[in-house]
Structure 1
């Protein structure tokens, strides 16, 4: 038995029976990731970051966030998939377009949640010679793909609603209301899972808004079912389907715009270039800043490169302190990946092409 094999065996013996049961019975997928990371640590395959300690800290907190987000996505996918299947079956049996439209949107939400989960896993792939930033950008591409798919769903819902206005069919209003009430519980509970992470990741924000919108739409479907049950207003059913489509469209347009901007490496909406410049210029010894570039590495991480113009004849220690302060300031502005070049005032690099 090799020394590595013995080490792995000893490590597994240290795990008590409850932990083994958790990893290998209840969460086999989690055990795969645990074994992979544990084995990498044993092999000394942990790659040190080329940045300072403050960057390392923010990077590890991102991994923790990704783990929590991944669990939330799996839970939300499960409950929404089960509910969408039940809703679609009852919608087909009752002939309710409102239920079918809502079920279709819930299935699209499941697809979006699945893509977001895949993006999280792709972001965990480390850098390589061909992909020096790893696969971090995949989260932005997923957010763009999700937005495009949602536009297609809206088109289908609107088309079916308009068609049914011309030929309304009898539906069970009471059944519609009961199923929609279950939807309120499922969607509001699922959206709560992303309440904290929605401000950290556009994909999590998209999941939160879509699930919240689904819950509100389900409230509308309850009203639709009650009006049909009490007054026989069959035209309410396609009207609710049409309203669902426009609610989804209204929430999707801002996310689509933001996804396109991030795909084009624009400055993230949460960062103001003017604020960054002002904060960096406030550091003692910094006279100016130029050739500043800010772009998203993923939906959760941002990068910056810039030239700092310093006073002439500063010591190397003073320059090191300036860079350290700059990194701390940028970390507070949610920019963790930083590359800074310093130059003296006499060099006048800002007047020439020194990218």
Structure 2
């Protein structure tokens, strides 16, 4: 048995390992090529965004609920309840973003980066639960309508548009590449839209006395939030269930691996999300003509990272059909 280790590290946190373990014709031939590359927005910027958004929204929740109670507006009180769930959601997302940067250890060999997927899922579920609360309040208000203080509602909702709009803007840059940050962004954007609806309802009630409009607007808001949150819920649930991430075409990657020199078959291919920004892959490459060499495997790992956004790849080489197939347990072990 021969062992060869080649490690190269740089300050951009990209490193590749190649280990070749050559066995006899009856054994398995293993090779691992690991590529790590981290796509995060500036962590300091995101940390500031979370801190500012949490502070502003916490203050606004207290103000909004107090004035909603005084103005007898279910739309305003329901929005305050929804804003409170958003503050909790933001705290959760921020905590996950911090945990995702924790270094791996003997127990958590991938670190705690998967916490960002759990936060995104919990955020989506929290939004759905908040929608149920808003809908219930709106139905109660429709059954037992009470006079609504339109001017107070409009002024408070106007402040809500400014605070939530600004908070959404803070997360906009990081929302494209990270579903956890996108969850926070959607929360704030939805809140701004809700406040706009409440503002319009408040103005109309003020001039017409149509108190039923306040709960009707609440119901419309619920429909909007459920529609916009459904995609986030599905995407985060798929991530937690270790599905192939939405932005990756598994068949295309299988074709890419099959087309590599010396590869006759691709077996046991697994692609899953390690976090809301990083993807991992394990695969068995059947190479009847022998081990392709460390350089070839490093090249495949680099192409997977650069062309397909797969940041951590483990490639296992088998010499052919006469070698016994490696079990799933072995494949897990080599990760």
Residue 327 in structure 1 maps to residue 292 in structure 2 = no
Question: Residue 161 of structure 2 aligns with which residue?
Answer: 184
What's the CA shift for 1:354? 4.2
**How far off is 1:257 after superposition?**
1.9
Counterpart Cα distance in 2 of 1:285 and 1:196: 42
Larger relative helix fraction:
1
Over 4 Å off, 4+ runs: 52-57
Q: 1:25 corresponds to which residue?
A: none
Q: Quote how far apart the aligned CAs of 1:311 are.
A: 5.3
How many aligned positions are there? 302
1:99 matched to 2:64? The reply is: no
Deviation at 1:287, TM superposition (A): 3.1
Q: Secondary structure at the match of 2:317?
A: strand
Q: Does 1:299 align with 2:276?
A: yes
Deviation at 1:49, TM superposition (A): 8.0
Kept in 2: contact 1:139–1:299 (CA 8 A): yes
Alignment map for 1:248-259 (pairs within 5 Å) = 248-259=225-236
Counterpart of 1:247?
224
Inter-partner Cα distance in structure 2 for 1:342 and 1:140: 31
Name the CA distance, whole Å, in 1 between partners of 2:59 and 2:17: 46
Say which of 230, 236, 241 aligns to 2:213: 236
TM-score under structure 2 length normalisation = 0.82
RMSD: 2.5
Q: Is the 8 A contact 1:294 1:302 kept in 2?
A: yes
Among candidates 31, 37, 57, match of residue 58 of structure 1: 37
Give the aligned partner of residue 339 of structure 1.
314
Which structure 1 residue ranges, 5 or more long, are not aligned? 1-45
Cα displacement (A) at 1:57: 6.7
Aligned to 1:128: 105
Equivalent in the alignment of 1:290: 267
For 1:220 and 1:190, how far apart are their aligned partners in 2?
18
- Separation in 2, partners of 1:262, 1:86: 37
1:83 is the counterpart of 2:57: no
Higher-RCO chain (CA-CA 8 Å, sequence separation at least 6)? 2
After superposition, the Cα gap between the structure-2 partners of 1:337 and 1:57, relative to the gap in structure 1 and judged at 3 Å, is closer
Check the 8 A contact 1:183/1:218 in 2, yes or no. yes
The 3 A distance-change label for structure 1 pair 191 and 162 is: same
Q: Residues 55 and 85 from structure 1, CA distance in 2 versus in 1: closer, same or farther, beyond 3 angstroms?
A: farther
What does the per-residue CA deviation read over 1:200-247, in whole Å, with 9 as the maximum and x for residues that have no partner? 211111111121121112211121011101111110011112222222
How far apart are the structure 2 equivalents of 1:112 and 1:157?
17
Q: Residues 281 and 56 from structure 1, CA distance in 2 versus in 1: closer, same or farther, beyond 3 angstroms?
A: closer
Whole-angstrom distance in 2 between the partners of 1:325 and 1:152: 47
User: Please, which runs of 5 or more residues in structure 2 have no aligned partner?
Assistant: 1-10, 19-32, 329-335
TM-score, normalised with respect to structure 1:
0.78
SS in 2 for 1:271: coil
CA contact (8 A) 1:55 1:331 kept: no
1:200 is matched with: 177
Alpha carbons 1:283, 1:325 under 8 Å: kept: no
Judge conservation of contact 2:124–2:233 (CA < 8 Å) in 1: yes
Q: Is the 8 A contact 2:116 2:276 kept in 1?
A: yes
Displacement of 1:182 in angstroms is 1.6
Cα separation, 2, equivalents of 1:77 and 1:248: 20
Query: Contact 1:280–1:329 at 8 Å: present in 2 too?
Result: no
Contact 2:147–2:211 (CA under 8 A) maintained in structure 1: yes
CA distance in 1, matches of 2:248, 2:297: 20
